[in-house]
């Protein structure tokens, strides 16, 4: 991933739920394109923030061994525009994680207000992609570290979230 659309995790329960926040700052370059006289964060970038929150949740569940990609946006609805100064909270709740993919139900809150909701489907790439390097799993591990998932996260059994042993070399 080249862009981070979340600033940090505030909750992370392996295989169940993750919450992350995004603080919208006027210093973010893309805001000056949408629109010069009225800067807003485009809804597709908000969807990407929820997808990164949910995608990391799905990938962590399988110790980053699966190649997880966003496959489908089943539903997405927003209530207004998000502007500089807003703090968005992205919540990704796992509906299911199966061998071939996963589905999350995502919500976006601006303060206490429900700002948007969506259904996102992720695929686990197989059939010819097993030996293809699409990403380095250590990159996702580094994202999880930078975004604070291992500081605040919980494993499925309620214990602390622990980095996958095969990836943890610093």
32 is catalytic: no
Percent of the chain with pLDDT over 90: 66
- The answer on pLDDT for 66 being more than 60 is yes
Cα-Cα-Cα-Cα dihedral sign, residues 5, 165, 67, 106: negative
- The answer on pLDDT for 91 being more than 60 is yes
Average pLDDT over residues 20-34: 87
Nearest one of 25, 23, 19 to 87, comparing CA atoms:
23
Catalytic residue among 34, 43, 79, 154: 34
Query: Across-strand partners of 101?
Result: 123
Query: Across-strand partners of 46?
Result: none
d(CA 126, CA 69): 11
Q: Mind listing the domains of the chain with CATH numbers? A: 8-154 (3.10.129.10)
Q: What is the predicted pLDDT for the residue at 147? A: 92
pLDDT digits (tens, 9 = 90+) for 120-170: 999 998 766 556 665 677 788 888 999 999 999 999 899 999 998 877 555
pLDDT digits (tens, 9 = 90+) for 39-55: 999 999 999 999 999 99
Percent of the chain with pLDDT over 70: 91
d(CA 106, CA 97): 15
Average pLDDT over residues 51-61: 95
- Average pLDDT score over the chain: 89
DSSP readout, 75-116? EEEE-S-B-TT-EEEEEEEEEEE-SSEEEEEEEEEETTEEEE
């Amino acid at each position: 991933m080249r862009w981070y659309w979340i600033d940090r995790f505030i909750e992370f329960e392996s295989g169940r739920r993750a919450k992350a926040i995004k603080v919208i700052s006027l210093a973010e370059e893309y805001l000056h394109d949408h629109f010069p006289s009225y800067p807003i964060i485009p809804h597709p970038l908000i969807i990407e923030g929820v997808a990164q929150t949910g995608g990391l949740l799905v990938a962590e569940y399988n110790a980053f061994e699966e190649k997880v990609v966003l496959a489908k946006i089943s539903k997405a609805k927003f209530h207004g525009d998000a502007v500089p100064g807003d703090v968005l909270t992205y919540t990704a709740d796992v509906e299911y994680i199966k061998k071939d993919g996963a589905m999350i139900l995502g919500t976006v809150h601006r303060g206490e207000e429900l700002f948007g909701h969506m259904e996102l489907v992720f695929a686990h790439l197989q059939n010819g992609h097993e030996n293809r390097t699409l990403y380095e799993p250590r990159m996702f591990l580094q994202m999880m570290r930078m975004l604070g998932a291992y500081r605040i996260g919980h494993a499925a059994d309620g214990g602390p979230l622990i980095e996958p042993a095969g990836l943890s070399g610093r």
